[in-house]
Amino acid sequence: MSVPPTTSAFGATTTAAEVIDGVDLHGRRAVVTGASSGIGVETARALASAGADVTLAVRNTEAGDRTAARLAAELPSGSGELTVGRLDLADRSTVAAFVAGWQGPLHILVNNAGVMAPQQVTRTSDGREQQFGVNHLGHFALTTGLHRALAAAGGARIVSVSSTGHLFSPVVFDDLDYRFRPYDPWTSYGQSKTANILFAVAAAERWADDGITANALMPGNIADTNLARHMDLRQIEEFIASGEIALPPQKTVAQGAATSVLLAGSPTVAGVSGRYFEDCAQAEPVTGRAGAVGGVAPYALDRDNAARLWHVSEALLG
């Protein structure tokens, strides 16, 4: 696999529009999950502006229709088409329906949707802890279901939106659903975000012969997003004061979408696979959480962990 460029014109303050400037994605088809708000909207906007036909895969199709109409009115002539599809990652039947309804190749899949830090343990319809069930298992079912479409594209890219929150926890294989240990919203979130990275690592290896690349990323510290709707802001302030977490400088939504768009459409990372990026560059490894404002934990890139998670996920989905 290729190594990402050591120098780049892109960085922490780069916007999605700047990343995609001059890139031609006409003839490409993309799916962006959770594209009715936040960085999902900006990711869809950037890819469509470069000519890609983008499907907004959303739980609330009315909100998706409004977003698609607004983007269509704002995009320049020659942009790709925007469509809306229903996808509730907590409901496996909608995932199956989305997969069954997809026809033809798929060039770009951005697994962007997610839930963060519900304060009480919540479970999906099939009994999985919600953050693991939505952030990982829902996207795992979607992506494996679309494997043929991705393989048919020739050079397809999978983008897995993770977080520096993965530093809160590895995947705890013996208790994925908090049936034994006390529920904690942050270790649960961390486990799901680690799973997002491990999925990219496993997919990169398993599907390399299909010409598919897969990478994960941290979008940044973005306050203006629905992802934070469950967050206990006082708890976060206490974490920061105690040194439990440290946050990087805030980004705008347009800046937060930049790394997703880089991995989805930029020629500068062509052939790169199985990596974790932040601020439009490959992240450096870290050996502990205390004081870290970025970087990637070794357990999140471990190939044995990735292979184990893939097998466990297949078993959980039957």
pLDDT of the residue at 246: 67
pLDDT of the residue at 293: 83
Q: Residue 236: pLDDT above 70?
A: no
- Dig out the tokens for 218 from the structure: 């941290």
Are 38 and 227 a contacting pair, CB within 8 Å? yes
The pLDDT-based confidence of 240 (bands split at 50, 70, 90) is low
pLDDT of the residue at 6: 42
The pLDDT-based confidence of 26 (bands split at 50, 70, 90) is very high
- Which of 279, 278, 310, 309 has the alpha carbon at shortest distance from 296? 278
pLDDT of the residue at 249: 82
Residue scoring higher pLDDT (55 or 246)? 55
Q: Residue 107: pLDDT above 50?
A: yes
Instruction: Give the residue numbers annotated as catalytic, written as ranges.
Output: 189
The pLDDT of 201-215, averaged and rounded, is 98
Question: What's the mean pLDDT when you consider all of the chain?
Answer: 92
CB-neighbour burial class of residue 65 (10 A; exposed 0-12, middle 13-18, buried 19+): middle
Q: Residue 247: pLDDT above 80?
A: no
Q: Residue 1: pLDDT above 50?
A: no
The pLDDT-based confidence of 125 (bands split at 50, 70, 90) is confident
Beta bridge partners, 159, equal 110, 215
pLDDT of the residue at 241: 54
Which amino acid is residue 74, in one-letter code? Answer: E
Q: Residue 313: pLDDT above 50?
A: yes
Q: Residue 279: pLDDT above 60?
A: yes
Residue scoring higher pLDDT (26 or 6)? 26
Q: Residue 257: pLDDT above 90?
A: yes
pLDDT of the residue at 292: 83
The pLDDT-based confidence of 222 (bands split at 50, 70, 90) is confident
Q: Residue 13: pLDDT above 50?
A: yes
- Which of 134, 135, 131 has the alpha carbon at shortest distance from 119? 131
Q: Residue 5: pLDDT above 50?
A: no
Lowest mean pLDDT among 43-57, 117-131, 251-265: 117-131
Are 118 and 90 a contacting pair, CB within 8 Å? no
* Distances from the Cα of 136 to the Cα of 129, 169, 194, angstroms: 11, 14, 9
CB-neighbour burial class of residue 78 (10 A; exposed 0-12, middle 13-18, buried 19+): exposed
pLDDT tens per residue across span 80-89: 999 999 999 9
